[in-house]
């Protein structure tokens, strides 16, 4: 039987061996903000297991954009370790991407020593502070940071660059009315709120040209009233489409500081997440407000598909489907509908060789149960499925 999901795919200048990519999932394997042996083996495992491309999660474009002290940020010192990651993935026949981001409003000032910034001066529960409202000079400087990080990513050997415009990180904060209360050229209308994200994407594209694929992870909905809506997200996608700067859009949803489980769906491991918080105050706060903050959403196969379909006719840019894709039949159906690629996360963490199992075409049923215990593990000792044996 021929499976569209296992056929060769395209992502800008790249030819991919199939249509399944490993989505960016925070690894927690970068002590000192540098790639570790565990990070190398983590991504090698997905490549050896058959994915077309693996994505290194959240590399900050600057020191000030980190949410944790040990979070990786792109600078010259990080290049040798990241080059080991790309070489390991390439040796297994897969491509490799890096996710470029800046935490903005919920960056941790203790991680970098820099003042937290955001679209507007609004209390940040993560940084426990009132961030500085970014000036035009700040926006220009951070836009330059995206370009500089993109050039370094090429030096590391990455084939594709994913610009993070989702989940409530800085570029997403500018899109969301919840965090963007500005009344200048960077706030108000959709066009104004999209001005900075579009500039950052354009800077990345200009920095790499056609030497790498460039795509964006874009929120379709923040998941709560007062946040980014589907209609506004489609308008943003049309603006990016008109710019012609992207090879694809990877569609997602949820706002880390308000609706983190909107992205995951399934069980909300509140007790386990409280236990791994770095301070007594954060542990207590997670226990007290966990039932509100970590709201549980029922899991459904391909749970973002109904929203993602709305973009297929709205833009010419190829679309990557993300969100609860587990089965080969779902991948095949998505490609049949017109999606260019499918991104998988937890299903591959549970079974790194899942694509190789699909290729046997023996009706294998994926084993991820969506307990989401891999999430607190990322803060404890590095992302892993708790149902697999300990490694490293």
Digit-coded pLDDT (tens) for 18-73: 999 999 999 999 999 999 999 999 999 999 999 999 999 999 999 999 988 899 99
Query: Where on the phi/psi map is residue 323: left (φ > 0), alpha (ψ -120 to 50), or beta?
Result: left
Strand 117-118 with 132-133, pairing = parallel
Judged by DSSP in three states, 11 sits in strand
**CA-CA distances (angstroms) from residue 75 to 33, 95, 98, 240?**
10, 22, 14, 28
Q: Whole-angstrom Cα distance, residue 86 to residue 79?
A: 10
Predicted pLDDT at 18: 98
Which residues of the chain, if any, have pLDDT below 70? 127-128, 278-283, 285-286, 288-292, 390-392
What is the Cα–Cα distance from 359 to 342, expressed in whole angstroms? 16
Q: Tell me the angle at which helices 230-243 and 195-208 cross, rounded to the nearest 10 degrees.
A: 30
For 136-145, how does the pLDDT look when each residue is reduced to its tens digit (9 = 90+)? 999 999 999 9
Q: How far apart are the first and last CA of the chain?
A: 38
* Pair 240, 249: CB distance under 8 Å: yes
The structural architecture, per CATH, of the domain 4-380 is: Alpha-Beta Barrel (3.20)
What's the distance, CA 251 to chain centroid?
10
Q: What count of other Cβ atoms lies within 10 Å of the Cβ of residue 128?
A: 15
Report the distance separating Cα 11 and Cα 13, nearest Å.
Answer: 6
**Which residues are the active-site residues?**
169
Q: How many CB atoms lie within 10 A of CB 189?
A: 11
pLDDT of residue 392: 42
For 277-318, how does the pLDDT look when each residue is reduced to its tens digit (9 = 90+)?
A: 766 666 676 676 666 678 889 999 999 999 999 999 999 999
């Amino acid at each position: 039987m021929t499976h569209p999901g296992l056929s060769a795919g395209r992502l800008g200048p790249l030819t991919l061996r199939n249509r399944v990519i490993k989505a960016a999932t925070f690894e927690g394997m970068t002590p000192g903000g540098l790639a570790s042996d565990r990070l190398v083996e983590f991504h090698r495992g997905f490549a050896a297991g058959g994915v077309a491309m693996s994505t290194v999660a959240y590399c900050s474009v600057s020191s000030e954009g980190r949410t944790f002290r040990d979070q990786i940020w792109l600078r010259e010192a990080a290049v040798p370790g990241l080059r080991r990651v790309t070489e390991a993935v390439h040796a297994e026949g897969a491509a490799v991407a890096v996710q470029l981001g800046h935490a903005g409003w919920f960056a941790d000032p203790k991680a970098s020593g820099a003042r937290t910034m955001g679209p507007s001066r609004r209390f940040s529960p993560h940084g426990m502070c009132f961030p500085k409202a970014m000036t035009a000079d700040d926006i220009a400087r951070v836009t330059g940071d995206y370009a500089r990080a993109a050039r370094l990513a090429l030096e590391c050997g990455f084939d594709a660059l994913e610009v993070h415009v989702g989940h409530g990180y800085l570029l997403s904060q500018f899109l969301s009315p919840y965090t963007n209360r500005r009344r200048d050229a960077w706030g108000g209308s959709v066009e104004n709120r999209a001005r900075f994200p579009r500039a950052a994407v354009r800077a990345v594209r200009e920095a790499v040209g056609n030497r790498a694929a460039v795509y964006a992870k874009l929120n379709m909905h923040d998941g709560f009233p007062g946040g980014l809506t589907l209609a506004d997200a489609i308008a943003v996608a049309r603006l990016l489409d008109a710019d012609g700067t992207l090879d694809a859009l990877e569609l997602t949803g949820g706002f880390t500081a308000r609706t983190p489980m909107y992205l995951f769906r399934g069980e909300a491991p509140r007790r386990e997440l409280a236990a791994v918080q770095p301070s007594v105050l954060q542990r207590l706060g997670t226990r007290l407000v966990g039932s509100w903050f970590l709201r549980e959403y029922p899991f459904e196969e391909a749970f973002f598909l109904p929203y993602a379909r709305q973009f297929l006719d709205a833009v010419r840019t190829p679309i990557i489907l993300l969100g609860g894709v587990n089965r080969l039949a779902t991948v095949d159906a998505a490609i049949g509908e017109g999606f260019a690629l499918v991104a998988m996360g937890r299903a591959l963490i549970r079974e790194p060789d899942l694509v190789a199992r699909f290729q046997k075409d023996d009706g294998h049923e994926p084993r991820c149960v969506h307990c989401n215990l891999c999430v607190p593990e990322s803060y404890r000792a590095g992302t892993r499925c708790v149902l697999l044996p300990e490694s490293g």
